[in-house]
Structure 1
Amino acid sequence: MEESKDVTIYDIAERMNLATSTISRALKDHPAISDKTIKKVKKVAEEMGFRPNILAAGLRGNSTKIIGVLVTRINRPFISSLISGIEEIAQKEGYSIMITQSHDSYEAEVNLSKALYDSRVCGVICSLAMDTRDTSHFQKFIDKSIPLVFVDRVPKDFSTYRVMIDNYSAGYKATKHLIDQGCVRIAHITGSPYRNTYSERRRGYTDALLEANLTVNEELIIETALTYEEGETAATILFDLPNRPDGIFVVNDTAAVGVIQIAKKRGLKIPHDIAIIGFNDDPIASIIDPGLTTISHPAVKMGQTAARKILSHIKTGKKSDEVLKKDSITEVTFLNTQVLVRASSKRK
């Protein structure tokens, strides 16, 4: 069977006996074309099965109405909620999103950033991979005045828009909560120290301990990739210590659930033997038994805010080289967090 040919504006022009320029303008609601003609053209186009080639239009105009989204792992509840927030705002303004995931690989992030650039996206929203240290692969967007927003995992050395929480404050609040529940030997399961999210949460953890005159013990701090399995592994290490911790602050809920499962297998009573707090308020936090105390992480709002930054930049016609001068103040939007207390830590 012969493959059907895509309908073009030339086919519509031939059917209606109009110039292709008129058809093109009518499909774009150009003010020079009457409403009557626009309606007729659109009706015929729909009847003929015409599909506008958005990418081709972008190639001609050097940009598309597509926002590139480069994240770590789509199957993480935080990331899927973040994407949902981005898509909601983009869709309302007539934009689409192109989603890519690095799987926490620096090499994949570099390649995907190039793929988004080559696709001529009109803006990029990115949450950095766990092991990314060099962010020079994003400079091409700045050089071409393509708005770039880093969200949640942001670089320390790259001046552009950032949307994040106060990770230091969140880490401090999580640790202080465990202290207030009577914990005196508090472990910390964290991610790569090269990511601001984890280094700042760790700093908050450390300061809360010092403020309470508690010891900061390096053997109680474990760096992981924060998967469920690594949460189980970290918990096993901590529970095998001669003097095991009586509280654990985990920087995501996925790994924290792994900790809960190992604690239960060991016969430890939660929260009396071991109090546990996670981070993100993923759906599983309220499903696991006992319910997981966690730190709220406004993923949807972060996505919405990041998308609005991109669209505001596009609408106002700002050029990145005007806004993002080396000596300018980096624009950062901080969103609030709070401790959501559940049974895994509630001793009092």
Structure 2
Amino acid sequence: MTGHNNLTMKDIARELGVSVATVSRALQNSPRISEDRKRMIQQYAREHNFTPNVLAESLRNSKVKPMKVIGVIMPEFVHYYFSTILRGIEEKASAHGYRIMVAQSNEDYEREVQLCQSFYENKVCGIIVSQAKETQHYEHFQKLLDEGVPLVFYDRICTGVNASMVVVDDYMAAFNAVNYLIQTGCRRIAFFGSKMNLEIAKNRFNGYKDALLKNGLPFDESLTRICDNRHDAEMITPELFDGDYYPDAFFAVNDDTAIGILYTVKSMGLRVPEDISICGFTNGVRAVSCDPMLTTVEQAGIKVGEEAVDVLLDHVEGRIPLTKVEKRVVRTRLIIRGTTR
């Protein structure tokens, strides 16, 4: 049997041969089930020191409102895009009378698991989360959902669980950016992206590939790399210029990677954009502090944060059932600057 610190309503339901809904009703002293069954479930919960997360339920059902706190998990604080999302979350939550409790996973799976457990123990009324790069197991997210904790993913969604999400139109954003590069005369476009366990990485890669195919250009795997930060971009970019046919453009998964490419090709004596065009993805403050300024896809981070709070509060306050998955898509736009022709 699971240790009491990790015991879920699902575990109790399985042990006693009842539904999760029956367990939930018994722990809330509902008149909708028999006294005998209620007593059995409550006694089992007491014996195993089980404390359910009742805050979300009480927010929906009680006139006396408990402390309204939303847990927020960010992969990292220093990334411009995540900081703008956090601003949107904080401002929208505050406007609705909620406070936020924020932590960063540092892209680490184990830390993400611990943060989910910590937020659960602190009885947050719901959690807004962007999955860590290293996460490939999803039991910690599923446990929250099993316990009735509203969960909303943003940016990096988790396809392993059935939860609400707020994303940008990654596929179309990448497709439009690469299509623009092709329209300006580029023919050998390199792609620097993240590991394909992330849904955003798959969507941006597919947008890149489909733009090539639509324009009758071949997909060349030798022009693609797993590379999503400036340091790696500076190490990897020279590799693509070793052969006879080097790229005439780069599409990068974020601005930091694009700026690493820009710095490297300029140091190699190539001209941007005359010899090499470069497009990033974010439109952070660094995009206008490099020379030339960076063409990039603008992600509306503040809007993503606001939408994530709206969806979460719809679940918390009962406007959308916890069992219904809500998906919101925030539109992007291509900002054309000096790194493209």
Q: Which whole-Å deviations, capped at 9, do the CAs of 1:19-75 have from their partners, x for residues lacking one? A: xxxxxxxxxxxxxxxxxxxxxxxxxxxxxxxxxxxxxx97xx797411111111110
**Partner residue in 2 for 1:334:** 329
* Aligned residue runs from structure 1 range 159-308, under 5 A: 159-224=162-227, 226-308=228-310
Unmatched runs of 5 consecutive residues or more in structure 1: 1-56, 325-329
Which residue identity lines up with residue 305 of structure 1 in the other structure?
E
Cα distance in 2 for residues equivalent to 1:303 and 1:75 = 16
Indicate the SS of the match to 1:110: helix
Contact 1:145 1:319 in 2 (8 A): no
Contact 1:64 1:120 in 2 (8 A): no
Find the partner of 2:85 among 74, 82, 87: 82
Q: Which moved more, 1:307-316 or 1:233-242?
A: 233-242
Q: Which whole-Å deviations, capped at 9, do the CAs of 1:297-336 have from their partners, x for residues lacking one? A: 111100000011112222236552xx24xxxxx3210111
Q: Which moved more, 1:101-110 or 1:84-93?
A: 101-110
Q: What is the deviation of 1:95?
A: 1.2
Which residue identity lines up with residue 223 of structure 1 in the other structure?
I
Q: Which whole-Å deviations, capped at 9, do the CAs of 1:232-268 have from their partners, x for residues lacking one? A: 1222222334321000000100111111111111111
- Structure exhibiting the larger radius of gyration computed from Cα positions: 1
Q: What is the deviation of 1:96?
A: 1.1
Cα distance in 2 for residues equivalent to 1:64 and 1:136 = 27
Q: Which moved more, 1:100-109 or 1:286-295?
A: 100-109
Cα distance in 2 for residues equivalent to 1:334 and 1:311 = 17
Find the partner of 1:315 among 314, 317, 335: 317
**Partner residue in 2 for 1:96:** 99
Find the partner of 1:118 among 118, 121, 133: 121
Q: Which whole-Å deviations, capped at 9, do the CAs of 1:94-129 have from their partners, x for residues lacking one? A: 211111111111122111111111111111001111
Identity %: 35
Q: Which whole-Å deviations, capped at 9, do the CAs of 1:79-101 have from their partners, x for residues lacking one? A: 00000000001111221111111
* Aligned residue runs from structure 1 range 135-146, under 5 A: 135-146=138-149
- What's the Cα RMSD here? 1.9
Q: Which whole-Å deviations, capped at 9, do the CAs of 1:254-300 have from their partners, x for residues lacking one? A: 11111111111111100111000000111110111101000011111
Cα distance in 2 for residues equivalent to 1:177 and 1:162 = 29
Unmatched runs of 5 consecutive residues or more in structure 2: 1-53, 60-65
Which residue identity lines up with residue 126 of structure 1 in the other structure?
V
Q: Which whole-Å deviations, capped at 9, do the CAs of 1:157-213 have from their partners, x for residues lacking one? A: 321111001211111111101101100000000001011101111001111111111
Which residue identity lines up with residue 148 of structure 2 in the other structure?
S
Cα distance in 2 for residues equivalent to 1:158 and 1:75 = 27
Indicate the SS of the match to 2:317: helix
Cα distance in 2 for residues equivalent to 1:171 and 1:227 = 18
Q: Residue 144 and residue 317 in structure 1: after superposition, are their counterparts in 2 closer, same or farther (change >3 A)?
A: farther
Cα distance in 2 for residues equivalent to 1:67 and 1:241 = 52
Which residue identity lines up with residue 126 of structure 2 in the other structure?
G
Q: TM-score scaled to structure 2, two decimals?
A: 0.79
Indicate the SS of the match to 1:273: coil
Which residue identity lines up with residue 276 of structure 1 in the other structure?
I
Aligned length: 281
Cα distance in 2 for residues equivalent to 1:162 and 1:199 = 17
Q: What is the deviation of 1:141?
A: 1.8
Cα distance in 2 for residues equivalent to 1:281 and 1:200 = 18
**Partner residue in 1 for 2:109:** 106
Contact 2:189 2:250 in 1 (8 A): yes
Q: Which moved more, 1:76-85 or 1:165-174?
A: 165-174
Cα distance in 1 for residues equivalent to 2:133 and 2:241 = 26
Indicate the SS of the match to 1:278: strand
Contact 1:189 1:234 in 2 (8 A): no
Cα distance in 2 for residues equivalent to 1:64 and 1:210 = 53
